[in-house]
Amino acid sequence: MTLAIKPRSSLEGQHFQVVVIGGGINGVAIARECARAGKRTLLLEQNDFASGVTSRSTRIIHGGLRYLEHGELDLVRESVRERERLLRERSHLVHPIHFLFLLNENSQRSAMKVRAGLWLYQRMAKKKSPDLSEMEMARVQRSLDAGHQWLMLNFEDAQCEFPERLVAEWMLEAAATGAVVRNHCEVLAVDIGQGRARGVLFRDRTTGKDQRVDASWIINCTGPWADRICQRSTVRMKKPMLGGVRGSHIVLPRFSGAPTAALYTEAPDGRPVFVVPWNEQILVGTTEVPDTGDPAKATASQQEIEYLLQTAAALFPKAKLSAHDIKYAFAGIRPLPNSPSDKPSAVTRRHFLHDHSDEGASRMISVIGGKLTTAASLARECARKIGIPVEEPKAVTIGPGSSLDPLLDQEVIEIARAGSVSEETARGMMEWHGQNAMDIARMALVGADLRAPICPHTSHIVAEVVEAYRNEYAVTLGDVLLRRVPVALGACWSESCSREAALRIGAVMGWKEQEFGANLEQFETERAAFLQRPARTGSALEAAAD
């Protein structure tokens, strides 16, 4: 089987009621909301959907416990409400996760205040404190630095291990209701005339051709690139809208004594840090460093990597963690509101919709801030801002620990039979593709090459890749292996995995030798830029293991 990808048609001269610039989770959510309301919508993304800030997050769908410290109760209520909705509506991607809040005698937060905060947090979520087994609590206690007296407080939040998949689903829902979606299309400028935004000029990077479209409304949802779009478009800004703050993470292998619950604790400087089981690895983050550089080139500094490693090593001294254990680091720029007088940790995480009417660009809105958890509520607010009547969904609640596992188990068996694949493969497909897993399984039945694993270390199969290219707007190998079927984020992945995957995918896609080489080289370049291997020269990194 070989698969031909249809070339894109030109959009030159077409009119859209809404053009959304930026295909992160917020932009995709806005495009989906507008398209569902019947508005002719165009979604443009300069690279790939979810390839920016969305893929560089801590991958938690949380109610914002830390926002209580800053008195942002409305933001906590909104976050809790949206978390519960995602747990119900996207249960294959978003699932409950136990957290332990760790305090010791040196913690800057008092136990009384934290207990009060957790009580209020759980009341706002209308949930009782979850039960974490005494065995797990004791296991964590044994692994922690025995030189401290640890207080462990229990609460529940949620995790979306792969927000890239959530973005893909919302993007497909937008397209299904009429939105035109284009990745690898860079907006060169918003066309502004007679005091209002009238359209956009963009370059399709897949063809190299420039196109112009007209628009009734333009939503600048480019995250840390929002000010740059305005500068390119001669929007008369008095001051920057954003104050970029870099957040970095490191990924460690599962080590002896690693927790199965997520940890919320303090770094030596008192900043909150997460240690989270993720994708069969351990994710440690995040930092808060002012950064006004090019968001596309954001990388974790050596100091940030040392900071995160030393925090993890101090928690778990028996694991003897060192720089050699770090699988990779990654970083992104949070598009926080410009607030130069505040510390990064004190800048609000709520979102704002900036109307450019007073700057000579009416009917253009820039989205400032936002986060994974509240993307859907931001989209509803933005739709209302441009005159689309959107009602708030009905409140949803799910009980602590509720699960659809019995139903999922039966679906997994049916998918395995339909595709003649293992139950492990069927479960992986169900977890990443939800209701679409059955269609992928039936496609896999066509040939053994489609049922082959993408690389020898994964149960995910080539048919999932074909689906990404055929129906999920994947253009490059990075679009597939880092976002649609993100096996390259796994613990096993190496250059040999990349080559093996490219060979298996290329055979199905009908790549010639030159095309195979170009796809593989482009993928390895993107993977190395995103998943940064830290330098091994820092003595402080090695000292963390002593």
pLDDT for 485: 98
pLDDT for 404: 45
pLDDT for 396: 58
CA distance 351 to 381: 10
pLDDT for 145: 86
Q: Tokens 């000029």 label which residue? A: 201
pLDDT tens-digit readout, 283-316: 999 999 999 899 999 999 999 999 999 999 999 9
With residues binned 3-state (H G I as helix, E B as strand, rest as coil), the percentages for the chain, rounded to 5, are: 40, 20, 35
pLDDT for 398: 47
Q: Tokens 């002012």 label which residue? A: 290
Q: Amino acid letter at 327?
A: K
* pLDDT mean across residues, the chain: 91
pLDDT band of 473, cuts 50, 70, 90: very high
pLDDT for 292: 87
Q: Tokens 């039960």 label which residue? A: 131
- Residue 286's SS3 state is coil
> For 187-191, what is the mean pLDDT?
97
pLDDT tens-digit readout, 347-401: 677 889 999 999 999 999 999 998 999 999 999 999 999 999 998 887 655 444 3
pLDDT tens-digit readout, 236-289: 888 999 988 999 999 999 998 898 999 999 888 888 899 999 999 999 999 999
CA distance 497 to 457: 8
Number of H helices, E strands in the chain: 17, 17
Burial class (CB in 10 A: 0-12, 13-18, 19+), 291: buried
CB-based contact 474:484 (threshold 8 Å): yes
CA distance 523 to 117: 45
Q: How far apart are the first and last CA of the chain?
A: 55
pLDDT of 537 above 70: no
pLDDT tens-digit readout, 427-470: 999 999 999 999 999 999 999 999 999 999 999 999 999 999 99
Residue % of the chain over a pLDDT of 70? 92
Residues 6+ apart with CB under 8 A from 330: 56, 248, 249, 251, 300, 530, 531, 532
| Closest of 116, 110, 102, 115 to residue 148, by C-alpha | 102
Q: Which two tokens stand for residue 12?
A: 């030159």
pLDDT tens-digit readout, 204-223: 999 999 999 999 999 999 99
| Closest of 504, 510, 516, 513 to residue 448, by C-alpha | 504
CB-based contact 220:26 (threshold 8 Å): no
Q: Which two tokens stand for residue 329?
A: 């680091």
pLDDT band of 402, cuts 50, 70, 90: very low
| CA 504 distance to own-chain centroid | 27
pLDDT of 2 above 60: no
Domains located in the chain, CATH noted:
15-53+164-242+349-385 (3.50.50.60), 94-160+244-334 (3.30.9.10), 405-510 (1.10.8)
| CA 122 distance to own-chain centroid | 25
| Closest of 462, 512, 454, 509 to residue 487, by C-alpha | 454
pLDDT for 361: 96
> For 182-211, what is the mean pLDDT?
97
| Closest of 500, 496, 501, 495 to residue 481, by C-alpha | 501
Q: Which residues lie across from 187 on neighbouring strands?
A: 202
pLDDT of 19 above 80: yes
CA distance 265 to 282: 15
pLDDT tens-digit readout, 130-185: 677 777 888 888 889 888 889 999 899 999 999 999 999 999 999 999 999 999 99
- Count the Cβ atoms, other than its own, within 10 Å of residue 210: 12
pLDDT tens-digit readout, 515-530: 999 999 999 999 999 9
Pairing of strands 180-182, 289-290: unpaired
Q: Which two tokens stand for residue 89?
A: 């509506």
pLDDT for 453: 97
pLDDT for 241: 93
Q: Which two tokens stand for residue 55?
A: 């893929």
pLDDT band of 406, cuts 50, 70, 90: low
> For 338-346, what is the mean pLDDT?
69
pLDDT of 544 above 80: no
The alpha carbons of the chain give a radius of gyration, in whole angstroms, of 23
- Residue 241's SS3 state is coil
pLDDT of 82 above 70: yes
CA distance 371 to 31: 16
pLDDT of 128 above 70: no
CA-based torsion, 59, 299, 480, 382: positive or negative = positive
CB-based contact 519:476 (threshold 8 Å): yes
- Residue 368's SS3 state is strand
Q: Which two tokens stand for residue 238?
A: 């008095």
Q: Which two tokens stand for residue 309?
A: 């490693």
- Count the Cβ atoms, other than its own, within 10 Å of residue 7: 8
| Closest of 19, 21, 17 to residue 387, by C-alpha | 17
CA distance 25 to 301: 26
CA distance 111 to 91: 33
Q: Amino acid letter at 382?
A: C
pLDDT for 403: 43
Q: Which residues lie across from 266 on neighbouring strands?
A: 272
pLDDT tens-digit readout, 38-74: 999 999 999 999 999 999 999 999 877 878 777 788 8
DSSP letter at 144 equals S
Q: Tokens 């896999």 label which residue? A: 444
pLDDT for 297: 93
Per-residue buried b or exposed e for 104-128, using 16+ beta carbons within 10 Å of the residue's own CB = beebeeeeeebeebbeebbebbebe
pLDDT for 400: 40
DSSP E strands, 132-171: 151-160
CA distance 155 to 157: 7
CA-based torsion, 354, 360, 364, 366: positive or negative = negative
Helix (H) or strand (E) holding 216: strand 209-220
pLDDT for 3: 60
